[in-house]
Structure formats: structure tokens, C-alpha cells
């Protein structure tokens, strides 16, 4: 598996395996990161709001960290079925 980055208008989508993170810039600065299943974008796993004026490089780094983040107490098989 490999990471895939695509531009969709003003938003950017980073996907890896069964998960994706969508980066949407906010109107008054900052970003909203939404982690969801790749094949079902309405199955939202986590949302993170960043209100700092980060550079593109920094926000991509934050999105990749969110994409690869694992929680020991959560069974992601319930969220990431194919």
C-alpha cells in the first residue's frame, strides 16, 4: 500500500489503505481535518479543527499523522471494513 494525495477544488485528500483524511481550509484561517473510511466518506472516524495559519507543508504533516494514528482501546475493524 502507498499513500495517495489528491486535490479536490480547495480541499486536499490524503488516503492510505482503507482510511482517508480530507483537509478543508476554513474561511477565516485554519483547517478542518476529517478522517473517514475511503469507500464511505460519511463514516467519519475523527474530526480535528486547527485554527493556526499553518503552511501547506505543516498541514500535510498533521494530516499524515492523523491518518496513521492508532488508538489501542479502539478496534478499527468496525470502522474500516471493505
Give the Cα-Cα-Cα angle 41, 42, 43 (nearest 5 degrees).
Answer: 90
Decide if 33 is inside a domain.
yes
pLDDT at 57: 94
The domain tally of the chain equals: 1
Q: What's the pLDDT at 47?
A: 95
For 71, half-sphere exposure in the C-beta direction (CA atoms, 13 angstrom radius) is 10
Domain assignment of residue 40, given as a range: 4-70
pLDDT at 38: 86
- Phi–psi pair at 76, nearest 5 degrees: -75, -10
Query: Would 79 be classed as within a structural domain?
Result: no
Q: What is the pLDDT along the chain (82 residues), one digit of tens a residue?
A: 688 889 989 999 999 988 999 999 999 899 999 999 888 878 888 999 999 989 999 999 999 999 988 777 777 666 565 4
User: For residue 51, is it within any domain?
Assistant: yes
Amino acid at each position: 500500500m502507498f499513500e495517495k494525495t489528491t486535490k479536490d477544488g480547495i480541499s486536499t485528500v490524503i488516503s492510505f489503505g482503507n482510511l482517508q483524511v480530507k483537509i478543508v481550509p476554513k474561511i477565516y484561517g485554519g483547517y478542518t481535518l476529517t478522517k473517514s473510511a475511503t469507500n464511505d466518506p460519511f463514516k467519519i472516524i475523527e474530526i480535528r479543527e486547527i485554527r493556526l495559519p499553518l503552511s501547506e507543508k505543516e498541514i500535510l504533516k498533521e494530516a499524515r499523522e492523523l491518518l496513521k494514528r492508532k488508538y489501542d482501546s479502539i478496534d478499527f475493524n468496525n470502522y474500516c471494513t471493505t
